[in-house]
Structure 1
Amino acid sequence: MSVIRFLARPMLASSFVITGLDKLKNADDTARQLSPVLRRASESLPFQTDEKVLARVIGGAQLGAGALLGLGKMSRFAATVLALTSALNTYVEWRSADISTKEGRNARRAQLLKNISLTGGVLLASVDTAGRPSLAWRAEHLAADAKKVTGKQIKRADKAVRKAVDHAVGA
């Protein structure tokens, strides 16, 4: 792992870990703030669940994924989870912000920009392969190599069959 990744991942993850802890500690407030979104989510689930439980799940997901990203374990998966929860938080905070005063509107804009920046950071982390080829690149090159090998083998087999047919017909 490079020094940049070693430093940047925990720095990026720290905000999500603290937010996740806060959501777990204050599940009632989180459920109230996320209520419109959580109500729809709980209605669409095949089993009934409380909005407070979903709020805790979101907080736990942020805490766990933030810890994994900070430690450099399953970083791409953790960053993807954080991108999803960050997008959800951005939407909810934007909707629930107080915009009755100029200070409230400025705070709403600052919070939106911070959340968008964090979402962008974890989106970049979600596609970071740490200098190794991605699975898609590996699969593409494996298929190309297999096609080359197969093409050569087919040409050799074709020559062998033609030679055998020439010998059989000529005999």
Structure 2
Amino acid sequence: MSLVRFLARPMLASSFVIAGLDKLKNADDTAKQLSPLLRRAAETLPFATDEKMLARVIGGTQVGAGALLALGKCSRISATLLAGISALNTFVEYRSADISTKEGRIARRSRLLKNLSLTGGVLLAAVDTAGRPSLAWRAEHLAMDAKKATGKQLKKTDRAVRKAVDHAVGA
């Protein structure tokens, strides 16, 4: 792991771990923020949703995925989870922010930009292969190499068959 990744992953993950711990401690406040979103989603979801439990799940996921990202273990999956949670948090915080005063609107915009920046950071971490090719790239190139090898073998076999036929007919 490069020095940049060694330093950047824990720095990026720290915000999510702290926010996750805060959500776990203050599940009631988070549930209150999630309530309007869940009321609309409850119409389409086939199961009842418990806001407090969802707040705890989100907090626990943030802590777990943030810790894994910081340690560099399953970092792409962890970063993908954090990107989804970050997008959800961005939406919920933006909708629930106080905009009755100018300071409130400025604070809402500042939090929006911070959350968008964090989402962008974990999206970059989600596609970071640490200098190694992804599984999709490896599979694609393995297939191309196999196709080339098969093509060469077919040409070689074709030449051998033609030579054998010419030899048998000419004999």
TM-score normalised per structure 1: 0.92
Task: Report what 1:146 is aligned to.
Answer: 146
1:13 aligned partner: 13
Q: Which amino acid aligns with 2:12?
A: L
Q: Distance in 1 between matches of 2:19 and 2:41?
A: 21
Counterpart position of 1:90: 90
Contact 2:66 2:82 in 1 (8 A): yes
Please, what is the CA RMSD of the aligned residues? 1.7
- Residue 118 of structure 2 is matched in structure 1 by 118
Structure 1 runs of 4+ with >4 Å offset: 40-47
Q: CA deviation at 1:170?
A: 3.5
Paired with 1:136 and 1:70, the residues of 2 have a C-alpha distance of 25
Please tell me whether the aligned partners of residues 38 and 49 of structure 2 are also in contact (alpha carbons under 8 angstroms): no
Residue in structure 2 matched with residue 160 of structure 1 by the alignment: 160
| TM-superposed deviation, 1:26 | 1.4
Q: Which stretch shifts more, 40-49 or 69-78?
A: 40-49
Residue in 2 aligned with 1:102? 102
Change (3 A) 1:147 1:153: same
Q: Aligned AA for 2:146?
A: A
Residue 81 of structure 2 aligns to a residue whose secondary structure is helix
How high is the TM-score relative to the length of structure 2?
Answer: 0.92
Q: Which runs of 5 or more structure 1 residues have no equivalent in the other structure?
A: none
In the alignment, residue 145 of structure 2 is paired with which amino acid? Answer: D
Residues 16/47 of structure 1: CA separation in 2 closer, same or farther (3 Å cut): same
Is this contact kept in 2: 1:23–1:30, CA < 8 A?
Answer: yes
Corresponding residue number in structure 1 for 2:34: 34
